[in-house]
Amino acid sequence: MNILCGGQSVRLRPHLLGAGLLLGAVLEVLRASGIDWTHEDGSLALAFNQWTAVALIALAVGWCASWIAGILRDGTTQRLRSAERRTLLRDSSAGAPTALAATTALLLTGCYVSGAPLLAMPLSYASMVITGIAFAFGIASCAALWFRVYENLDPADSLVHATLCIGIAGIVRFIMSSHDPIATLLVFAACCLASYAGLIASLSTNAAEPDAASDERDEASEDGSANAETARIAAKSALHILWLPLAALSIVGFIQGLVWNPVVSQTAIAGPLNIQALDVPIGGLVACGAVIIALRLMPSELRCQSIADGGVPIAMGILLLYPVIIPQETVVNDLLGWLPQLGFALIVLFSWQSLMLAQRASRASGAPVLALGLLLAALSYAVGLTLIHVIGTGGRDLCLVLLTIYLVLFCIFLAQETRTEQQGRTSDELRPETFIHRRCDELAGEHGISPRETEVLYLLGRGYNHTYIARKLFVSENTVRTHVRHIYGKLGLSSREELLDLIDEDAS
């Protein structure tokens, strides 16, 4: 089955959807933790969540520290050379033992927490600490392996499958929220095993199929890979991509921590048969449908980041305006309760996609980029959990303040981006984009210009300089210069003026 995305056909690969099964199962275990809120205070479940977050923070910090130590030791940014990257991405045996250990940890700890009420097992604080740490190990390890799989995909391919995973995660959470311990255990176990099978299949597929996107990144990174200026620009590009979505993810993690205890936060307790139980799957499915439609309408691969750039502030706007506009405990609130879940789903999706794009921009292994995302999400969630009993219902006002600050910062960022784009033009003349793309496509077909070089050609034809093109395509300026040199060679040109004249030849 293929999905059309702006003229590009994306082949649907079911084994990649195992990430969605695991995401939904893990989130529901953290939310429910085997608690019946009508009879329990949730103190032990709170300890489980807190120690899971603390362990994730420790793992992420250790991850980053080891990467920085490698930089200091080797004097490089440890970007993988072409042969090493291919070996890492295509060696399924390297990830299989980690996948087995991580899945086993998740399976045992998740079943222990969720199945304790069914088996009348005595729980203690010490057991919750150990279980939380083991659960965090499983989350971090599986996230790292799925990140390895997804970073090896084309951006549109990655976004399509991640979007479908968000919809699947919502359905899994709805099924697991049945409050039937047996059904919850069976669904959780099935999701873990299916995710493991999908992960192994994905790693094996990497070994069997050459990856054009990865090869392209390797070729582009060969020139000046040890150059300090290139590394600085790459890191700046990665931070430019990440700061808005990760700031949103941190706020969402904080909100989820504050509302984890529905008794203290006075939020609705979703039962298996009431309308609130449908909010999570509806929100996830609406997010899935909206992104798929946007992908089908986008004109080119370059729109993947544009969708994320627009989707994150829209999601934050929903989270900000919903509690202000929609009255609590009304029929309207019951019918539109899925809107906040839509916002949460979009932010998780676009944060994951931004991590993918930042990894491409940084030319580094995925470890520091993913570790940064895990660190911020776990830290904000831990802070929210800690402040539950301190803030109580006052957390709603604090969340509104944080969301407002975020949207103000986004407006400032958008104004700066607009000014930067205007300054990036080397010509005052505004060229019609449709004509330029058509003319560049003609030149690319006639002279054997590659798809990536064609993207650079589009921007060169519109008058942008190397710095702006590097930021737009998430590459270094050295990589842009290499592409420009190849374009000039294939077209038999020696300057930008000759290129613009060639593109304008058909203007009459």
For every residue of 293-340, DSSP letters joined together read HHHHH-SSTTHHHHHHHHHHHHHHHHHHHHHHHSPTTSHHHHHSTHHH
Q: Is 71 exposed, middle or buried (0-12, 13-18, 19+ CB in 10 A)?
A: middle
**pLDDT, tens digit (0-9, with 9 covering 90-100), for 238-285:** 777 788 888 989 999 998 888 887 666 566 555 555 566 788 899 999
Which residue intervals of 259-302 are DSSP H helices? 262-265, 279-297
Question: How much of the chain exceeds pLDDT 70, in percent?
Answer: 72
**pLDDT, tens digit (0-9, with 9 covering 90-100), for 69-125:** 766 665 544 444 443 444 334 444 557 888 899 999 999 998 888 877 666 667 788
**pLDDT, tens digit (0-9, with 9 covering 90-100), for 27-44:** 989 887 766 655 666 788
CA atoms within 13 A of residue 316's CA, in its CB half-sphere: 31
Least-confidence region, from 119-123, 378-382, 448-452: 119-123
b/e map 254-267, b = 16+ CB within 10 Å:
bbbbbbbbeebbeb
DSSP assignment letter at 438: H
pLDDT at 17: 92
Q: Give CA separation, 178 vs 32, 171, 185, 187, in Å.
A: 11, 12, 11, 11
Helix (H) or strand (E) holding 10: strand 8-11
> Where do we find the tokens 């299989």?
96
CA nearest to 397, candidates 284, 255, 195: 255
C-alpha of 24 from chain center: 15
Q: Could you tell me the end-to-end alpha-carbon distance of the chain, in angstroms, rounded to an integer? A: 43
C-alpha of 162 from chain center: 8
C-alpha of 115 from chain center: 31
**SS3 of 55, please?**
helix
> Would the pLDDT of 174 be above 70?
yes
DSSP assignment letter at 178: T
b/e map 1-30, b = 16+ CB within 10 Å:
eebebbebebeebebbbbbbbbbbbbbbbb
What average pLDDT does the segment 360-381 reach? 80
Q: Is 489 exposed, middle or buried (0-12, 13-18, 19+ CB in 10 A)?
A: exposed
DSSP string, 115-144: HHHHHT----HHHHHHHHHHHHHHHHHHHH
pLDDT at 229: 56
Least-confidence region, from 182-191, 309-318, 329-338: 329-338
pLDDT at 131: 93
CA nearest to 232, candidates 390, 81, 106, 71: 71
What average pLDDT does the segment 404-415 reach? 84
363, two tokens: 């030319």
Confidence at 11, pLDDT banded by 50, 70, 90: confident
Torsion region of 329: left, alpha or beta (phi above 0 gives left; psi -120 to 50 gives alpha) = left
CA atoms within 13 A of residue 223's CA, in its CB half-sphere: 12
Helix (H) or strand (E) holding 427: none
Q: How far apart are alpha carbons 277 and 260 in whole angstroms?
A: 15
Q: How far apart are alpha carbons 237 and 351 in whole angstroms?
A: 15
Q: Give CA separation, 381 vs 91, 185, 255, 444, in Å.
A: 34, 25, 8, 49
**SS3 of 242, please?**
helix
308, two tokens: 């994320």
C-alpha of 383 from chain center: 22
Average pLDDT, the chain: 77
What average pLDDT does the segment 217-232 reach? 48
pLDDT at 447: 85
**pLDDT, tens digit (0-9, with 9 covering 90-100), for 293-331:** 887 776 554 566 677 778 888 888 888 888 778 776 677
C-alpha of 341 from chain center: 17
